[in-house]
Every structure is written in C-alpha cells, then in structure tokens.
A and B are shown apart, each in its own frame.
Chain A
Amino acid sequence: MSDNLIQEIKAFIIESLDLEDLAPEDIEDDAPLFGDGLGLDSIDSLELGVGLQKRYSLKISAENEETRKIFSSARALADYVAAHRAL
C-alpha cells in the first residue's frame, strides 16, 4: 500500500468532515482518529462510512466487528481501502 494512498485518505477525511485548519500533514499515519487522537466522534464515523461508499464504493456494515479497527488510524483505513476497493 503506497504512501500516496495514505495521503489521499487523509485528504478524504479532512474534506468529508470539514476539518478546517487541518492539512493532511497534520494527521499522523498511526495516530488514533477518534477519542484522544484527532478527536473525531461517532457522527464522524457515520460520515466517513457514507463517504467511503461514495468515493470508493465500499460499504462497511455497522455489525462488522472489524469496523473499530478499520477506523483506528489513517494507515488502517488506507489498508482497508487498498484491500477492498473496486479495481
């Protein structure tokens, strides 16, 4: 998985969630997106879910036990997108 995709995912997070004042380089690859890290909340996770469906045609089920892991960091989300997006 390329660094380009991690950068793309960071830009996607910023754009999807209206994170004004933030640039992709402000988000660390492995820092938590929720809680103490970037400080996102549960509404943001829903927004990212809708955004992933629009941008990458990926549907993440709320019942998916992996969901917490997928959204744990920019790198984890990029890993998931790289492995599952339509080629």
Chain B
Amino acid sequence: MNLQGWVAWAPGRETPEAWRRWALAGEEGGDAAGSGALAAPPPLKSIPPLLRRRADAMGRAALHVLTRPEMPYGGQPLVLCSRLGEFRRSFELQAEMAREGRVSPQQFSMAVHNAIGGLFMMAEKAHAPLTALAAGAEGSLAGLQESAIQLADGAKVVWLLYCAEPLPEQYHFFAAPDERASHFALLFAWSAGDEFQLAPDAHSVQNGASRTASPLELLSFLLCPERDSICLSARGNWTLRRGTLRRGTLRRAARAGAGL
C-alpha cells in the first residue's frame, strides 16, 4: 500500500508540524489522549448547519479531518474505524431512558456506528461505499485490512478514518487507561503500491516481541521514516512494514540468519 496523504486532529494538536513533533518525540498519546474532559470541537464551517448539529465530540473531530481543503474528497470509499464510536451519546440515551422512559428520536437516529460517515456522505452528496468497523483492540489492523481488501478489489484510493472520544466516567472500569480519555480523528488516504506491506510476520511470532498498536501509534510509525515496522496484532502478528515484499523478506531473512 502507498500512503497518499493524511490529516489528523486532537485537542491542541491540529497541524502536521505539531503531529510530526509529537511523533518524533516518541509520545504515545500525550495530550492527544486528553484529560478526560471534552475539548472544544472544531467549528466545521464547511458542513451545512443542519447536518453538523447532529455530530458530537467524536463526530465533529471526524468531520473536521474529512473536510480539510488540503485533502479534498473525490468520491473515494470511506472506511470508518472506531472501537466505541460516539459512546457518550449512547450512554446519555440509556440515562434518558432510565430517567424519563423515552429518548430523543434525533439522538437515537445517530446512535449507530456508521452515522458519522453517513453525515459526511450526505454533506458531500456522495454515493461511495462506506464501511464502519468496531474491531475491539485490533481496530488499527482491521481498518488497514479493510482498506487493503478494497484496493485489491479495484479501488484507486481508500480513505481510512480512525476516531475516538473520551468515555463517560462510568465506563472507565471497562477500558484500557489510554482509551478512557482519547479524543482524536486520523484520516489516511491509501492507494495500491509497495511503500508499505501488510502481512502476518512469522519472525516476530517466534520472538514473541509483538504488541497491538493503537491508531495513534500507527500514525507515529508512519511519521517516523527510520522505523521499519509496527505490529498491529499481538494475536495474529500482523505487521505493517516499510518497503516491498522482496526487501522485507530479505531483511527478515538477514535478521533470522544473524540469530542462528
């Protein structure tokens, strides 16, 4: 796969330069993970008011990166990948049901995982394929796999969006510490090519040296050219590696040889 472009937003980190500094400093979230309090969302002036009123914290961050002038949308398939989606909305709906016995139809209509992608497609008047994924701890991998599948199926470019918003405090018990306060939207444009190779990595299985990378860690890897690979699945050992298959195979062979 080739990375054609990217756009990212997190509270206090809104420019490519800020993200590069963050990646080079080796932060794994930093203040992109936030304090748990909801940051002011981007203003979204390019989305019609009747559509943007329906987006919450995560949705506004997502729509912000989807509508940046530096990466104009051209009808590409969109893969929207979020572990929990706009969970604060779902939690508030449950609280409202318990409190009043009825819920807001408007909020209920948005409480599905593909709703934010739907708002974007409506704003763009687009009819492109939209895939919404909730893939647990392996969301980074699932998003890349889906993108690779769509490229293999003939798409010229696939837009892959990762997004999250801080969890309600009542659910912190169920979440990993770095997921509790995460508020970000990361958008990647992928095309077919050999800049990066996504494949199971038998070598790191043998070494047992793998862990599952979050979307923020994936971005950090992509912004650091000297890094060779990143493990996207501790279970299946899927790895995203720089370079062609041949180059990657040779490197792995060289390392395996050195280890013997």
Give the B-binding residues of A (Cβ under 8 A): 17-22, 39-40, 43-44, 46-47, 49-50
CA–CA, A5 and B53, complex, Å: 25
Near A by CB (< 8 A), chain B positions 28-70 give: 49-50, 52-54
A39 touching B50 by the CB < 8 A rule?
yes
A21–B109 alpha-carbon span in the complex (Å):
22
Alpha-carbon distance A47/B104, docked complex (angstroms): 6
CA distance A50 to B53 in the complex (A): 18
A-B contact pairs, 22 of them (CB 8 A): A17-B53, A17-B106, A18-B53, A18-B54, A18-B106, A19-B49, A19-B50, A19-B53, A20-B49, A20-B52, A20-B53, A21-B49, A39-B50, A40-B50, A43-B105, A43-B109, A44-B106, A46-B106, A47-B105, A47-B106, A49-B105, A50-B105
Q: Looking at the assembled complex, report how far the CB atom of A67 sits from the nearest CB atom of chain B, in whole angstroms.
A: 15
Contact A43 B106 (CB under 8 A): yes
CA of A50 to CA of B93, assembled, Å: 14
Known A18-B106, A43-B109, A47-B104; 20 more pairs at CB < 8 Å:
A17-B53, A17-B106, A18-B54, A19-B49, A19-B50, A20-B49, A20-B53, A21-B49, A22-B49, A39-B50, A40-B50, A43-B105, A43-B106, A46-B105, A46-B106, A47-B105, A47-B106, A49-B105, A50-B102, A50-B105
Give the distance in Å from the alpha carbon of A20 to the alpha carbon of B50 in the complex.
8
Interface of B is mostly: helix
When chains A and B are docked, how far (Å) is the Cα of A22 from the Cα of B50? 10
* Chain A neighbourhood of B54, CB < 8 A: 18
The chain B residues found within 8 Å of chain A, CB to CB, are: 49-50, 52-54, 102, 104-106, 109
Tally of contacts, chain A with chain B, CB under 8 A: 28
Chain B residues with CB under 8 Å of A47's CB are 104-106
Nearest-CB residue, chain A, relative to B109? A43
User: In the complex, A20 Cα to B44 Cα: how many Å?
Assistant: 12
Give the chain A neighbours of B105 by CB distance below 8 A.
43, 46-47, 49-50
Distance in Å: Cβ of A59 to nearest Cβ of chain B = 12
In the complex the two chains form, what is the Cα distance from A21 to B54 in whole Å?
13
Ranked nearest first, the 4 interchain pairs of A and B with the lowest CB-CB distance are A46-B105, A18-B53, A47-B106, A43-B109
Q: What residues on B are CB-neighbors of A49 within 8 Å?
A: 105
- How far, in Å, is B12 (CB) from chain A's closest CB? 23
Tell me the bound Cα distance from A43 to B49 in angstroms.
Answer: 16
The closest CB in chain A to the CB of B106 belongs to: A47
A17 to B109, CA, bound (A): 13
CA distance A47 to B96 in the complex (A): 14
* Residues of chain A contacted by B104 (CB below 8 angstroms): 47, 50
B112 smallest CB distance to A (angstroms) = 13
List the A side residues contacting B109 at CB < 8 Å.
43
